Every structure is written in structure tokens, then in C-alpha cells.
């Protein structure tokens, strides 16, 4: 929690003013029982109506001033808590953006979403309550005890016994609750994971008629969460009844002792009422403190989980400045590269060694799990090689700043991801200052002009989250256009035409070749595909098998020399359609 409190540094004034006004409110509240005692012992006893009215007006004034102080404290507490929550979310989101693909793969999306939402909300609510109650409640408790001593020392000793017992109960329950609430949050992570999987894979679940099985899995996880929450709730629920018992026993002892003293003439009736009022104040404040402790207990568990994310050091560091450019004819070089995924066991790629000249088109093909996407993802440094070097324009990718490296590369990933917003806004991800003419040129090159022109508002057409109001082929073409807008020197198409028909795929490849000619032969293209027809026109084709290169050459060369390529070619029943391309 200490590490997270640094995000309160811009709200020091609010964190000081809030408790200060709460202490003022508490001070006025401690005066009220004394005023009540005066009304009973002087006003009522002597029948002095004027005295009673004057003291009642004092009580009203104390109430109004206390209310103003409470509202002021609440305002500053809320301002500090919301500001703290905002800065914490910003910092957490920025930290997550620094994590490498391997880091995020290891953590899991469900955990990150839960940390950004429910955990941060719990910590923010705790900060709000702590600012308002952390000083006020103890101040009232010990202030009431001190005020009791000013009235009668013997009666005040009852306070001295009751308060330590109450504190032991409160902190004992807190210590028992903390590990339970950690378990609650862990179970909540599991529920979030199951829910996310079901929402994103709902079509697959229905296609395989797995609704009942998924409902059972969800209910099982939900039942585990309920069981832990109930147990934690039962422990926390002991707080109020146990404290009530202690307070009521102390109140009975106080009334009995006060009655004896009143009978002996050493104590006034009003003073006994004041002592009982102070005991009641302690009860109310300890209930508030108990709720605060429960909130703090939950927040500590959440804060530790948020801190765990901050403690993860990005597995990928970028230099502050890129190395000086070198004179080389090669756009991309893999120098005996191998990579092992985090907790992945065996190497995903091994002994990858090849060079690509500027302007070349390289096809990459292989079976499922052969490492095609892994290979191209190492060029923009989404993953780091565990051994060997990956070079872009003669420089190790580790020696580029993130901006310099990524600006050279346009990449279209396997999954076509679009964001909520207009087509124009999505296209500007590739180039923030792109003009409408540049965007339309990229859309034409990506074979998307026809359907974009058919949309209402054309570039102003609003895309739903994830592009769910577009077909799979439309999403793919727009993601290709987004990469082309950047006018990169290296273009990576990672199986990005899988939803396109052969005619559109062929037209797209022809368009990319034309872009390469217009660029003066400087556009280097990597095409990952399962179709041999999509790669026939490539300058060279790299065949991968089980993470290693099984062959490199042209289509005709590989048919003669690579059995794996021949097998893929033979199973591609549609290769004839691409023969003319």
C-alpha cells in the first residue's frame, strides 16, 4: 500500500484539510454531552428556562458548525480519493503498456482487467474512508475517555478497560480477515476469466453445444467465490455483535457505578448521562472503525495485487536513442536466432538464419505451430530472441528506440482488431496526420474502397468495438489499409488475407507489388500464409517445420527440393486459382 500512496502526492493539501475538518467536527461532538449535562444539572434542576434555551441554542450551533466541517471534510476526501484513483489508473495503464508480449502472456488479460477495475476501485474507496475516519474515530474514542476523566475518575476506569478489549477484538478480526479477502480476490479473477472467455467465444460455445457445460463451469467458480466470501463475511460479521456486547456490558457497569455515586451525592444525574453519551459515542465510532478496518482489509489485499503488477519489471528495455544507421543492402537479418516463450519449455524457434534484401517479398509458410507468427513478431520486437540477433537495416532491433523501430514497420496481425470510432480514426492509427487522400489511397490499395464507399458517411462510418459491425474480410482489409497508411519500409502481413476470396487476395498482392514499384523497390514485404497460391509470386519462400527452417527458395525450387512444401502444395486444393497470379 505504501508504494501506491505516492499517487497522493499531488493531493497533500486535501489529505491534510480533510482530516483536520473531521477533527474539528469531532471536537464539537465531544462538547455536546457536557452541554446536555449542564441542561440537566442546572437548567432542569433549578427550573431555569432561559438557561435551558441558551444551552439548546449552543447545541444547535455546534450541530451546524459540525455539519459544515463534515461536508468540507467529505469534499476534500472525495477530491483526494478520486484524484488518487485517476493517477493510479493512469500509472498502472502506462506500466502495462511497457510490458512485453511475454509479460502480458504470463500475467493473463483477466488479471490485468481485474487489477485496473475492481482492485483500483477498492483502494480508492479505502483512501476516501481513511481520510474521513482514520483520525476521527480514534480521536472520538480516546477523547471520550479523557472527557470521562474530567467528570469522574472511577467511572472513567471503565472506559480504560473497555477500550483495549474492543481494540483487541477489532484488530484480531482484521488479522483473520486479510488472507480471506486475498482468496476472495483470487476467486474473482477466476470468475472474470471464465466470463471473458464465454463472452468472446460465445459463437464457438453455441456451435459445439457447450452451453450447459460452460454454465456448470461458471457455477462451480461462482460457488467457490461464494463459499470464500461467506466465510470471510462471517468472520467480519463478528465485529459488530462482539463490540456491542462489550459496549453494553461497559454501559451497564457505568450506569451502576454512576447510580451508586449519585446516591452518595458525589456525582450529578446529568454527569451520569454525559458518561453514558460518551460510551455511546465510542460504540458508534468503533462500529465506523470496524467498517473502516473491513474496508482497509479488502483494500490491502487489492493494493498488494496492484503492487504485484507494478513490481513486474518490463522484460524488454529500449534505449533512449537509436544507433547510427549503417550502410547495408539488407532490410532484415536473422543471425542464428532462437526464442523460447516464457514458461514455454522447448524453443519455439531455433537456428533461424537468413537475410532479406530491400525490396524483396518473402513468403513464410508451414504447419500450425511451426513458428510463422513468432518469426515475424520478432522483427518489430514484440518478442526478444533468447539467442542470436535480429537486425533491421543492419542494426540490432535491441538498439532501436521503440518509436524508430515501429515507425519503420507496418504490421497486420492474424486477428483483425479495429477500435470503436470512425473509419478515419482507425486509419489514423497508422499515421496520425494522414489526410483523407492518403487514407483513401491506402483503402484502395487494400481492396476496401468498394465497401467503404457503400457505407453511410464513408470515412465517417462508425465502427463498433472490435469491428463487429463488419464482416471478417472487411475487417482484414481495413487493418491492411491501416498498415499501408503509414507507408512503411517493411510490411508484415501475418496470415491477414485468410478471410479473403482468392480473387481479392490476388488483387491485394498485385496492389502491394505495385506499391513496391512506386517506392523504388524499397518496400520489403513478409507474407505469412497457409496458401501456397498466395506466396507463388514471392521472391523467396521460407518453409518452417517445428520451429526450424525446412527450406528456402522460390516456389519452383521448393517443389523440387522441399518435401514439406510439396505436401502443403498438394493439400492446397485451390492452388490452381492462383497459378495465373
The CB density around residue 76, as the number of other CB atoms within 10 Å, is 23
Residue 411 pairs in a beta bridge with: 492
CA angle at residue 313 from 310 to 318, to 5 degrees? 125
330-574: CATH number? 3.40.50.300
To which residue does cell 482492485 refer?
Answer: 119
Model pLDDT for residues 223-233, shown as the tens digit of each residue: 888 888 888 88
Residue 410 pairs in a beta bridge with: 491
Segment of 353-357, 522-526, 565-569 carrying the highest mean pLDDT: 353-357
pLDDT band at residue 334, thresholds of 50, 70 and 90?
very high
- The C-alpha atoms of residue 578 and residue 535 are separated, in whole angstroms, by 9
More confident residue, 103 or 366: 366
C-alpha neighbours within 13 Å on the C-beta side of residue 308: 16
Nearest to 226, CA basis, from 176, 267, 190: 190
CA angle at residue 23 from 22 to 29, to 5 degrees? 90
Task: Name the packing angle between helices 153-200 and 211-237 (round to 10°).
Answer: 170
Model pLDDT for residues 70-98, shown as the tens digit of each residue: 899 889 999 998 988 888 888 888 888 88
Nine-digit cell string for 39: 441542561
Nine-digit cell string for 181: 479477502
Q: What is the pLDDT of residue 575?
A: 47
- The C-alpha atoms of residue 178 and residue 296 are separated, in whole angstroms, by 9
User: Is domain 4-311 given the CATH code 3.40.50.1370 in the classification?
Assistant: no
188 pLDDT exceeds 70? yes
Average pLDDT over residues 367-373: 82
SS3 566: helix
- The C-alpha atoms of residue 482 and residue 486 are separated, in whole angstroms, by 7
289 pLDDT exceeds 80? no
pLDDT band at residue 2, thresholds of 50, 70 and 90?
low
361 Cβ contact partners less than 8 Å away, ≥ 6 residues apart: 512, 513, 516, 524, 525, 527, 537, 538, 539
Mean pLDDT of the chain: 83
217 pLDDT exceeds 70? yes
Q: What is the pLDDT of residue 57?
A: 92
What is the strand order of the sheet 361-366 is part of?
409-412, 490-494, 524-528, 361-366, 540-545, 548-553
577 pLDDT exceeds 50? no
Question: In this prediction, what percent of the chain has a pLDDT beyond 70?
Answer: 97
Average pLDDT over residues 545-550: 86
Model pLDDT for residues 112-123, shown as the tens digit of each residue: 887 888 888 888
More confident residue, 378 or 113: 378
Nearest to 182, CA basis, from 48, 330, 299, 352: 299
Q: For the chain, which residues make up each domain, given as ranges?
A: 4-311, 330-574
578 pLDDT exceeds 60? no
Average pLDDT over residues 357-378: 86
Q: Residue 384 — left, alpha, or beta (φ > 0 → left; ψ -120 to 50 → alpha)?
A: beta
284 pLDDT exceeds 50? yes
> Taking the mean position of all CA atoms in its chain, how far away is CA 426?
23
pLDDT band at residue 343, thresholds of 50, 70 and 90?
low
Average pLDDT over residues 23-40: 85
Amino acid at each position: 500500500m505504501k508504494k501506491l500512496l505516492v499517487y497522493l502526492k499531488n493531493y497533500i493539501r486535501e489529505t491534510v484539510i480533510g482530516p483536520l475538518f473531521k477533527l474539528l467536527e469531532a471536537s464539537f461532538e465531544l462538547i455536546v454531552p457536557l452541554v446536555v449535562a449542564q441542561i440537566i444539572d442546572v437548567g432542569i434542576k433549578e427550573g431555569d428556562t432561559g438557561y435551558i434555551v441558551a444551552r439548546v441554542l449552543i447545541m444547535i450551533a455546534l450541530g451546524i458548525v459540525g455539519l459544515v466541517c463534515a461536508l468540507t471534510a467529505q469534499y476534500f476526501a472525495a477530491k483526494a480519493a478520486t484524484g488518487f484513483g485517476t493517477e493510479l489508473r493512469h500509472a498502472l495503464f502506462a506500466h502495462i503498456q511497457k510490458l512485453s508480449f511475454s509479460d502480458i502472456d504470463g500475467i493473463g488479460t483477466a488479471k490485468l482487467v481485474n487489477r485496473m477495475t475492481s482492485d483500483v476501485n477498492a483502494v480508492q474507496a479505502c483512501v476516501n474512508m481513511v481520510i474521513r475516519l482514520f483520525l476521527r474515530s480514534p480521536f472520538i474514542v480516546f477523547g471520550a475517555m479523557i472527557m470521562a476523566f474530567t467528570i469522574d475518575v472511577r467511572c472513567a476506569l471503565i472506559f480504560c478497560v473497555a477500550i483495549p478489549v474492543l481494540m483487541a477484538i477489532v484488530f484480531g478480526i482484521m488479522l483473520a480477515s486479510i488472507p480471506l479477502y486475498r482468496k476472495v480476490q483470487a476467486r474473482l479473477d477466476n470468475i472474470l476469466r471464465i466470463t471473458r472467455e464465454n463472452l468472446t467465444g460465445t459463437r464457438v460455445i453455441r456451435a459445439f453445444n457447450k452451453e450447459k457445460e460452460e454454465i456448470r463451469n461458471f457455477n462451480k467458480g461462482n460457488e467457490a467465490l461464494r463459499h470464500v466470501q461467506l466465510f470471510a463475511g462471517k468472520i467480519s460479521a463478528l465485529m459488530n455483535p462482539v463490540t456491542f456486547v462489550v459496549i453494553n456490558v461497559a454501559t451497564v457497569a457505568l450506569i451502576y457505578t454512576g447510580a451508586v455515586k449519585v446516591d452518595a451525592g458525589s456525582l450529578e444525574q446529568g454527569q451520569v448521562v454525559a458518561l453514558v453519551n460518551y460510551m455511546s459515542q465510542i460504540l458508534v465510532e468503533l462500529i465506523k472503525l470496524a467498517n473502516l478496518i473491513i474496508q482497509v482489509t479488502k483494500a490491502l489485499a487489492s493494493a498488494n495485487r496492484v503492487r504485484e503488477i507494478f513490481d513486474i519489471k518490463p522484460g524488454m528495455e529500449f534505449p533512449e536513442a537509436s544507433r547510427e544507421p549503417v550502410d547495408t543492402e539488407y532490410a532484415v537479418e536473422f543471425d542464428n536466432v532462437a526464442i523460447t516463450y516464457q514458461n514455454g519449455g522447448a524453443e519455439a524457434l531455433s537456428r533461424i538464419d537468413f537475410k532479406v534484401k530491400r525490396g524483396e517479398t518473402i513468403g513464410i509458410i508451414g504447419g500450425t505451430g511451426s513458428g510463422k507468427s513468432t518469426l515475424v513478431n520478432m522483427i518489430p520486437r514484440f518478442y526478444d530472441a533468447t539467442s542470436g540477433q535480429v537486425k533491421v537495416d543492419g542494426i540490432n532491433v535491441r538498439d532501436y528506440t521503440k518509436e524508430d523501430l515501429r515507425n519503420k514497420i507496418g504490421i497486420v496481425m492474424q486477428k483483425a482488431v479495429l477500435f470503436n470510432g470512425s473509419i478515419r480514426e482507425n486509419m489514423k492509427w497508422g499515421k496520425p496526420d494522414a489526410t483523407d487522400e492518403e487514407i483513401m489511397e491506402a483503402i484502395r490499395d487494400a481492396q476496401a474502397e468498394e465497401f467503404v464507399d457503400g457505407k453511410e458517411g464513408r470515412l465517417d462510418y462508425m465502427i463498433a468495438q472490435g469491428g463487429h459491425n463488419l464482416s471478417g474480410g472487411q475487417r482484414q482489409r481495413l487493418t491492411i489499409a491501416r498498415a499501408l497508411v503509414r507507408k512503411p519500409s517493411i510490411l508484415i502481413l501475418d496470415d491477414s488475407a485468410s478471410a479473403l476470396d482468392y480473387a481479392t487476395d490476388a488483387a491485394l498482392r498485385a496492389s502491394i507489388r505495385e506499391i513496391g514499384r512506386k517506392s523504388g523497390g524499397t518496400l520489403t514485404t513478409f507474407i505469412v500464409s497457409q496458401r501456397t497460391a498466395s506466396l507463388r509470386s514471392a521472391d523467396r519462400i521460407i518453409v518452417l517445420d517445428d520451429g526450424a527452417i525446412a527450406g528456402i527458395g522460390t516456389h519452383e525450387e521448393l517443389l523440387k527440393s522441399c518435401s514439406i512444401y510439396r505436401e502443403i502444395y498438394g493439400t492446397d486444393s485451390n492452388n490452381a486459382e492462383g497459378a495465373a497470379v
